[in-house]
Structure 1
Amino acid sequence: MTSIQTILAATDFSEDADRAAHRAALLAAGHGARLRLLHVVQTDALEELRTRLGLAADVKDRLSEDAGRRLAAIAEKLQKASNVQAECVVRSGRVRDEILAEADHADLLVVGAHGTSRTREALLGTVADRMLYLGRRPILVVRNDPVKDYAKVLVPVDFSVHSIAALQFARRLAPDAQLHVFHAHSDRSEGTLFLADAPREAIEKHRSASRNAALENVTGLVGKALPGDPRVTWSVDDGDAKFLISEEAKRQGADVIVMGKHGHSLLSELFLGSSTHATVARAHCDVAVVPQDPRI
């Protein structure tokens, strides 16, 4: 199984981004991977602000130099904490676009759960939230302080090829961790039986058969994605994935959730990623979102 060789940690110098950088360093140390630290000087409105406020013409250069110094300070801390030498990269432009461009040369992008502007993200969504849908590489959204390697991983599945990619990446991300595979089972035909006034015994029998079929599907999926892996367990529960996944993560004591996504188009961003979005928002732990082809 291919290992993670290059990790990119994007930072805006916030507390959350610092937490993400430390997780990235911990992962880099465990995988023997190359670590790159990236900061993007946002130039979208810089020229307008420079004109309006009378800022110096070289303001972008000075911001880039300051960012370089701050990245170097972070790299020094990470080297002392994890014995990992990080490469510092400063880019200028539109933050999301520059991060995604750099991420195309990495096996994993690591970002903080929040940024420096909590008000803006409440109205428009975070840069991280946008990148979850548009990125072509696995993205790890870090929520908690990285005190140890990942030990328990929850992998929600829906029996698609995206689930296979998530399972295989979960094992790459945490080679020594216990994986728990979880399926939130929802049978729409059960509602039809209620409307048809079917006997309660018939509904219960149908529910049991449908749940058993789902459990068999999970068993088959695990056998296909991770054959012979003894550190994998699985379960099925009835209900809406948007609510059940984060609750199951708590119940399992998971320190990261790894889940697949169905695309990186605007359509998927608007309509397809409801359970992914809900999980990132609700989860008490870190969340990794994996495209169908992680390319590692």
Structure 2
Amino acid sequence: MTIDDGCRPPADPPAGGVLVATDFSDGARLAEQRAAHLAREHGVPLVLLHVLPNDWMAALQEWLGAERPSDRIVADAQATLQATARRLQDEQGWPVHPVFAQGHPVQAIGETALRCAARWVVVGAHGRGRLQRLLLGTTAERLLRKATYPLLVVRQPVQHGYRCALVPVDFSPWSAPALALADALAPHAAVEMLHAYTVPFEEKLRFAGVDDDMIALYREKTRERAAARLHELARQRGWPPSRYHATLHEGDAAPGIVQQAARRACDLIVIGKHGLSAAEELLLGSVTEHVLSEAPCDVLVSPGRASA
């Protein structure tokens, strides 16, 4: 990856803020606006990154040969980045630090996030051209697999700060860090804690001849235990009852999360990269992947897990 010093201040961008990646598309503009709102709300720096893919430039050079349009394309991208930074700064009333990079988008985002010690990395749910697959295909999986930073995927126009955050909880090591992340990103939002469950071994119990009343009792005890654990997690965060709502969903987690987010008009879902059903080394837990694809609102993916 190369960074062009002509498109940013001589010093490295300030650390500890919000990094937003843009390809200048409409989807990226939503991400830019949300990132600027977050930076202003939390009083932290805002870094605006544009990556010009090297493989795209190489393919263009191969097709056009001696015409060598690369310098012109780089200059145009830099000028567009500067104009975007000025427009965003004027609209949001918050300083913007533009950074231009050439390389692989996933690597460039990761390296810039590391350089900036980014608190949150923000991207749009849809992009332009090759980058349209950022959160629709293998690029997204690579980005999320490698991410050691919270990744916010933006779908909605910004009207205000987040007001209702849904946090799926499966009591895996990913659950408590997701709640902490929701607290940090959206400190004033109501929190919807959702646990999806099934009655363990229900089919085997029926096959063994256990009657419906006993299975119903087993189901109720499962709910009671799950509810108690949800309230305990909230107590550990120091949340009063007015801050959160504990919800239990019997059935598959992935569709339950999406349905509950729509039902409660949540504007944010905060979810861990993995859960009880996915090993850490896999690309993404299937539930997280489904939520990223189908959620009606913004999704914040937490990279953290509690230590054993």
Q: Which residue of 2 aligns with 1:192?
A: 204
The alpha-carbon deviation at position 141 of structure 1 amounts to: 0.2
* C-alpha contact (below 8 Å) 1:154/1:257 kept by paired residues: yes
Q: Which residue of 1 aligns with 2:55?
A: 44
Q: Which residue of 2 aligns with 1:143?
A: 155
In the aligned structure 2, how far is the partner of 1:69 from the partner of 1:75?
10
Confirm whether residue 218 of structure 1 aligns to residue 234 of structure 2.
Answer: no
* C-alpha contact (below 8 Å) 2:267/2:298 kept by paired residues: yes
The alpha-carbon deviation at position 73 of structure 1 amounts to: 1.6
Q: Which residue of 2 aligns with 1:98?
A: 108
Confirm whether residue 178 of structure 1 aligns to residue 190 of structure 2.
Answer: yes
The alpha-carbon deviation at position 5 of structure 1 amounts to: 3.9
| Distance 1:293-1:36 versus aligned 2 partners, 3 A rule | farther
1:7-22 residue pairs with structure 2 within 5 A?
A: 7-22=18-33
In the aligned structure 2, how far is the partner of 1:252 from the partner of 1:58?
51
The alpha-carbon deviation at position 119 of structure 1 amounts to: 10
Given candidates 78, 96, 105, the residue that maps to 2:88 is: 78
Other structure's SS at 1:137 match = coil
Other structure's SS at 1:99 match = helix
The alpha-carbon deviation at position 35 of structure 1 amounts to: 0.3
Confirm whether residue 278 of structure 1 aligns to residue 278 of structure 2.
Answer: no
The alpha-carbon deviation at position 146 of structure 1 amounts to: 0.9
Given candidates 52, 60, 63, the residue that maps to 2:73 is: 63
Other structure's SS at 2:204 match = helix
* C-alpha contact (below 8 Å) 1:113/1:128 kept by paired residues: no
Other structure's SS at 1:54 match = helix
> Which amino acid is 2:27 matched to?
D
For residues 70-95 of structure 1, give each alpha carbon's deviation from its aligned partner in whole angstroms, at most 9, with x where no partner exists: 12222222222211110000011111
* C-alpha contact (below 8 Å) 2:194/2:247 kept by paired residues: yes
* C-alpha contact (below 8 Å) 1:260/1:289 kept by paired residues: yes
For residues 92-123 of structure 1, give each alpha carbon's deviation from its aligned partner in whole angstroms, at most 9, with x where no partner exists: 11111111111222110000001213897399
Given candidates 279, 285, 300, the residue that maps to 1:288 is: 300
Q: Which residue of 2 aligns with 1:268?
A: 282
| Distance 1:274-1:256 versus aligned 2 partners, 3 A rule | same
In the aligned structure 1, how far is the partner of 2:52 from the partner of 2:131?
20
1:97-176 residue pairs with structure 2 within 5 A?
A: 97-104=107-114, 105-117=117-129, 121=133, 125=137, 127-176=139-188
Q: Which runs of 4+ in 1 moved over 6 A?
A: 263-266
* C-alpha contact (below 8 Å) 1:260/1:292 kept by paired residues: yes
Percent identity reads 37
Other structure's SS at 1:208 match = helix
The alpha-carbon deviation at position 196 of structure 1 amounts to: 1.6
Other structure's SS at 2:174 match = helix
In the aligned structure 1, how far is the partner of 2:279 from the partner of 2:217?
40
Other structure's SS at 1:188 match = coil
Aligned length: 288
* C-alpha contact (below 8 Å) 1:112/1:128 kept by paired residues: no
For residues 259-288 of structure 1, give each alpha carbon's deviation from its aligned partner in whole angstroms, at most 9, with x where no partner exists: 11239999421xx51000100111100000
Given candidates 236, 250, 258, the residue that maps to 2:248 is: 236
Unmatched runs of 5 consecutive residues or more in structure 1: none
Q: CA RMSD in A?
A: 2.6
TM-score of the two chains, using structure 2 as the length reference: 0.86
In the aligned structure 1, how far is the partner of 2:135 from the partner of 2:125?
15
> Which amino acid is 2:173 matched to?
V
Given candidates 52, 61, 64, the residue that maps to 1:53 is: 64
Other structure's SS at 1:253 match = coil
> Which amino acid is 2:185 matched to?
L
TM-score of the two chains, using structure 1 as the length reference: 0.89
Other structure's SS at 1:84 match = coil
* C-alpha contact (below 8 Å) 1:134/1:265 kept by paired residues: no
Other structure's SS at 1:41 match = strand
